[in-house]
Structures are given as structure tokens and as C-alpha cells.
A and B are shown apart, each in its own frame.
Chain A
Amino acid sequence: NAGVTQTPKFQVLKTGQSMTLQCAQDMNHNSMYWYRQDPGMGLRLIYYSASEGTTDKGEVPNGYNVSRLNKREFSLRLESAAPSQTSVYFCASSDSQGAVVIGELFFGEGSRLTVL
């Protein structure tokens, strides 16, 4: 079982470049999330999607955009990358009822992004 799949696993960008992180889940979950993980800061929510066609800002949305393409896929776009966006990005998914997470959260393996 694939679970949550993220691509790419590693990426190096120059300041000002753009890129999209892709995420897909095969568990038929309603909700999907993008987090970033930084040393000493823990995991912080960037954006989430409670259901297909909806997206909402999390704790640190500035500099990012998302698209919930269908129930399976949720992408994260950096329009103009900055060194402060150097981080490890995780996609996750879960069952939910409306806005409430009711099941376990399943994570992808992470995408390690460096912005020079």
C-alpha cells in the first residue's frame, strides 16, 4: 500500500524560482494537509483541505499556494522561493467529518527543500 506519496524528495532552488510539491493519497481520505518542519520549531501547518474543492490557511501560509486537484491530490506551490522557505515539507491525510479530524493522520516521507 502506497499511503501518502510526495514528490520530489529533494530539491534545491535559487531565490525567486518557483516550484510545486506534489502529494497523492490512496486511502480515500477527505482531509489533506501540508506541514513544514524546522529545527526547534516543530511541525507547523501551512494549508489544509477539509474536502475536495476547499482549502484553508494554516499557521504559516505566507509565500505558499495550494490546489486540491481532486480527492487524491493536494499540491503546494512556492511562487517565488526565499531562503526562509528552506525546510522539510510533509504532506498528510486523514479521515474527517466536516472540519473535525476523526482518524489517524498519515504522513508522506517528506520533501527536503533548500533555497539558496
Chain B
Amino acid sequence: KQEVTQIPAALSVPEGENLVLNCSFTDSAIYNLQWFRQDPGKGLTSLLLIQSSQREQTSGRLNASLDKSSGRSTLYIAASQPGDSATYLCAVTRRTGGGNKLTFGTGTQLKVEL
């Protein structure tokens, strides 16, 4: 069974700091990995999608990396802003046994302070 872990559960940083969020998964036979952002009381918004053949994806100040062999992904946020405050979740799609079933981590709650 695929398990996805995100540590830390909560993180508070001053504005302007570069930061890294971590995502670990137990089964490396994945099809892709996605990072999402969730604001309070809202749905999830997809930030980056990394296919299993890729090592990283970039969008603006966000960069996500994928290391399947070690079962890890990181989301790098450059020059953090108060508007980045949200919960960040990662999810993996397993390659076998039902590719439609994503497994989500429980998220890292980020607060960027002025």
C-alpha cells in the first residue's frame, strides 16, 4: 500500500525566505506526482505535475523535484510572500493496481509572516 508522508506538518517563516517542503512515498512505482495548494475553506489547486520520467518542474517561484529511487519529492518556494500562506499537499499516482487512485499526503501548513 502506498503511503505518502509530509514533514513538517506546519511551518512558519519570515517573508522573503526561500523554503523547501518535503514529500516522501513508500512505493517508487509511480506514474506521476502532483503538488497542490489549499487555502482555508477552498478546494485544492494544482501547482505542478511531475511525470515519472521527469526530474523536476518549474512554475514561477516554484520548483518541484522528484527522486523516485529514494521515494522523495521536494517543493522549493523562492522569496516567500504572505500570499503563499496555505496548506501544501503532494499526491502520487501509482503505476499498478489502479492508476486512477492518487494517494495524498496530509499536507504541510505554511505561514509566511511579514
Q: Which residue of B lies closest to A40 (CB)?
A: B106
- Looking at chain B's contact residues, the main secondary structure is strand
Which of A45, A98, A106 is the one whose CB lies under 8 Å from B102? A45
A106 CA / B43 CA spacing, docked (Å): 9
With A105-B91, A110-B43: A58-B34 Cβ-Cβ less than 8 Å? no
The reply to whether A101 and B106 form a contact with Cβ atoms under 8 Å apart is: no
Could you tell me if B42 and A109 are in contact, using CB atoms closer than 8 angstroms?
yes
Is the pair B102, A101 in contact by a Cβ cutoff of 8 Å? yes
Question: Which B residues between 35 and 76 are near A, CB-CB below 8 angstroms?
Answer: 36, 41-46, 49
CB-CB < 8 A to A96: which residues of B? Answer: 99-100
Which bucket holds chain A's interface residue count? 20 to 34
Query: In the complex, which residues of chain A have a beta carbon less than 8 angstroms from the beta carbon of B106?
Result: 40-42
Whether A56 lies near B43 (C-beta < 8 A) is no
Q: Annotate A68-86 by CB proximity to B: 1 below 8 A, 0 otherwise.
A: 0000000000000000000
* B34 and A99 contacting across the interface, CB-CB below 8 Å: no
Residue of A nearest to B93 (CB): A101
The answer to the question of A34 belonging to the interface, with a C-beta cut-off of 8 Å to chain B, is: no
The answer to whether the Cβ of B89 comes within 8 Å of any Cβ in the partner chain is: yes
- How far is it, in angstroms, between the C-alpha of A43 and the C-alpha of B103 when the chains are bound? 8
Question: CB distance B93 to A108 under 8 Å?
Answer: no
Residue A16 at the chain B interface, CB threshold 8 Å: no
CB neighbours of B104 from chain A (8 A): 42-43
**Chain B nearest Cβ from A28, distance in angstroms:** 17
Q: Is A100 a contact partner of B43 (Cβ separation < 8 A)?
A: no
Question: Is A100 a contact partner of B44 (Cβ separation < 8 A)?
Answer: no
The answer to whether A100 and B100 have CB atoms under 8 Å apart is yes
B residues whose Cβ falls under 8 Å from a Cβ of A? 31-32, 34, 36, 41-46, 49, 89, 91, 93, 95, 98-102, 104-107
Residues of A whose CB lies within 8 Å of any CB of B are 4, 31, 33, 40-43, 45, 48, 50, 56, 58-59, 90, 92, 96, 98-110
